[in-house]
């Protein structure tokens, strides 16, 4: 989910925590728990600071180790230790329990969008991305705002957020069933598909589609019960024994892209005396472009002149980023 939704979920858990007698009866403990659940609801995304280093580090690691099983268990202890130093006298066990709940819910809800997490680390580094909920879902956000309004006017935050979260849980289930229904529909329209990737939008029945068969990649949109195909690419396997591909695959930006993207188209061309190798994620088609890419420039000796990975919405901007990266290398 986006940061704003994680934050409102933290405050929602603070309301829910009032049902815990050990929290409700102690103002100090409630204060500590509120700090803990709000901090716990955002702390796994601390790896966003990797953007300050470069896109490759961010793409390779965001929602990785910080969302893993060991981190999910470790964050509450770190936060609880800090908060207990700030709010001495609060109930340590209840603080730890509610902070663990906040961190766990953060990681759990993140697996429902198309980006996903590596929540099963260290057992596997596979990305878990169910693709049933948009990163920002208006219904979930508005339900929290309704809950806060009731809390401030009528009181009873615990009961209010029991109802709010029960409603949101039903919503998650319904979105899951509808997601499966759309996948079944897409497969009926495009027989022979081996994989289907649906990215939800903020509208219930609208999805972005990327799919593959043994011979083709497909890109399209599902609007209600209508499938609109946008592109079809021949599926050409990458020859990693090819010297140009091998040279490109050793670049950090390409490695980051390949570690993250499950469905991509690639191309190789020669322009202005250099080889240009480009990998394009097919899941993020937007306004006539495929913005998530990894691109490498190789010279005639197959040395990397420049490379870039990330989101860019025009060929001109991509060239500028590659030129800038070359100047800074």
Q: What is the DSSP string of 188-224?
A: HHSTT-SEEEEEE-SSTTEEEEEEE-SSEEEEEEEET
Residue closest to 36 by CA, chosen among 86, 110, 108: 86
Q: Is residue 226 part of a domain?
A: no
Last residue of a domain, one of 174, 201, 219: 174
pLDDT at 326: 73
Both 170 and 248 in one domain: the answer is no
8-state DSSP, 117: B
Exposed / middle / buried, residue 120 (Cβ in 10 Å: 0-12, 13-18, 19+): middle
Distances (CA, A) of 211 to 171, 208, 231, 257, 279: 26, 10, 11, 18, 16
Contact residues for 174 (Cβ-Cβ < 8 A; gap 6+)? none
Distance of CA 279 to the CA centre of its chain: 20
Please list the residues that pair with 268 across neighbouring strands: 277
Last residue of a domain, one of 118, 143, 174: 174
Contact residues for 16 (Cβ-Cβ < 8 A; gap 6+)? 157, 158, 161, 162, 165
Last residue of a domain, one of 154, 174, 194: 174
Q: Is residue 99 part of a domain?
A: yes
Q: Tell me how far apart the alpha carbons of residues 256 and 261 are, in angstroms, rounded to a whole number.
A: 9
Q: Is residue 139 part of a domain?
A: yes
Residue closest to 281 by CA, chosen among 263, 295, 302, 308: 263
Residue 73 is part of which domain span? 3-174
Helices in the chain by DSSP H: which ranges?
A: 3-16, 21-24, 27-40, 55-61, 69-86, 92-110, 138-153, 157-189, 243-249, 252-260, 315-328
pLDDT digits (tens, 9 = 90+) for 210-240: 999 999 999 999 998 799 999 999 998 888 8
pLDDT at 3: 93
Confidence of residue 163 (pLDDT cuts 50, 70, 90): very high
Q: Can you give the three-state secondary structure of 94-115, one letter per residue?
A: HHHHHHHHHHHHHHHHHCCCCC
* Residue 290 · residue 280 · CB < 8 Å: yes
pLDDT at 328 over 70: no
The mean pLDDT of the chain is 92
Say what angle helices 138-153 and 157-189 make with each other, to 10 degrees.
170
pLDDT at 176 over 90: yes
Rounded mean pLDDT, 144-161: 95
Q: Is residue 218 part of a domain?
A: no
Q: Is residue 192 part of a domain?
A: no
pLDDT digits (tens, 9 = 90+) for 85-139: 999 999 999 999 999 999 999 999 999 998 889 998 999 888 888 999 999 999 9
Q: Is residue 255 part of a domain?
A: yes
Both 279 and 165 in one domain: the answer is no
Contact residues for 138 (Cβ-Cβ < 8 A; gap 6+)? 202
Please list the residues that pair with 217 across neighbouring strands: 212, 233
Q: Is residue 63 part of a domain?
A: yes
Contact residues for 139 (Cβ-Cβ < 8 A; gap 6+)? 168, 171
Both 28 and 149 in one domain: the answer is yes
Residue closest to 251 by CA, chosen among 299, 308, 325, 329: 308
Residue closest to 12 by CA, chosen among 130, 202, 175, 169: 169
Both 122 and 257 in one domain: the answer is no
pLDDT at 203 over 90: no
Q: Is residue 247 part of a domain?
A: yes
Both 155 and 292 in one domain: the answer is no
Calculate what percentage of the chain has a pLDDT beyond 90.
Answer: 67
Both 263 and 160 in one domain: the answer is no
pLDDT at 300: 87
pLDDT at 162 over 70: yes
* Residue 90 · residue 31 · CB < 8 Å: yes
Both 92 and 11 in one domain: the answer is yes
* Residue 305 · residue 325 · CB < 8 Å: no
Residue closest to 264 by CA, chosen among 241, 230, 227, 293: 293
pLDDT at 61: 84
Rounded mean pLDDT, 125-154: 94
Both 155 and 254 in one domain: the answer is no
Give the distance between the most distant pair of CA atoms in the chain.
74
Q: Tell me how far apart the alpha carbons of residues 151 and 130 are, in angstroms, rounded to a whole number.
A: 32
Q: How many domains does the chain have?
A: 2
């Amino acid at each position: 989910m986006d940061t704003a939704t994680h934050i409102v979920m933290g405050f929602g858990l603070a309301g829910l925590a009032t049902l815990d007698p050990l929290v409700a009866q102690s103002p100090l403990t409630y204060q500590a728990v509120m700090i803990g659940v709000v901090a716990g609801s955002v702390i796994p995304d601390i790896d966003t600071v990797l953007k300050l280093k470069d896109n490759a580090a961010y793409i390779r690691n965001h929602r990785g180790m910080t969302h893993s099983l060991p981190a999910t268990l470790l964050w509450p202890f770190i936060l609880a230790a800090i908060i207990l130093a700030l709010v001495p006298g609060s109930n340590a066990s209840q603080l730890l329990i509610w902070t663990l709940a906040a961190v766990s819910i953060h990681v759990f809800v993140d697996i429902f969008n198309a980006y996903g997490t590596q929540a099963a680390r260290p057992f596997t580094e596979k990305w878990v991305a169910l693709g049933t909920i948009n990163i920002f879902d208006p219904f979930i956000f508005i339900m929290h705002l309704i809950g806060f309004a009731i809390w401030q006017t009528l009181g009873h935050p615990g009961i209010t957020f029991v109802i709010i979260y029960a409603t949101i849980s039903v919503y998650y289930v319904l979105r899951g069933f509808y997601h499966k229904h759309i996948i079944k529909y897409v497969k009926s329209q495009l027989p022979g598909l081996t994989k289907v990737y649906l990215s939800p939008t903020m509208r219930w029945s609208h999805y972005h589609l990327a799919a593959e068969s043994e011979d083709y990649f497909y890109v399209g949109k599902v609007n209600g019960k209508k499938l609109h195909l946008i592109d079809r690419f021949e599926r050409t396997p990458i020859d990693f024994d090819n010297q140009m591909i091998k040279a490109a695959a050793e670049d950090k930006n390409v490695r980051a892209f390949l570690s993250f993207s499950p469905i991509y188209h690639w191309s190789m061309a020669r322009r202005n005396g250099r080889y240009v190798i480009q990998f394009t994620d097919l899941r993020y088609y937007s306004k006539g472009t495929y913005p998530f890419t990894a691109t490498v420039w190789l010279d005639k000796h197959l040395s990397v002149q420049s490379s870039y990975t990330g989101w860019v919405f025009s060929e001109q901007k991509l060239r500028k980023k590659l030129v800038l990266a070359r100047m800074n290398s």
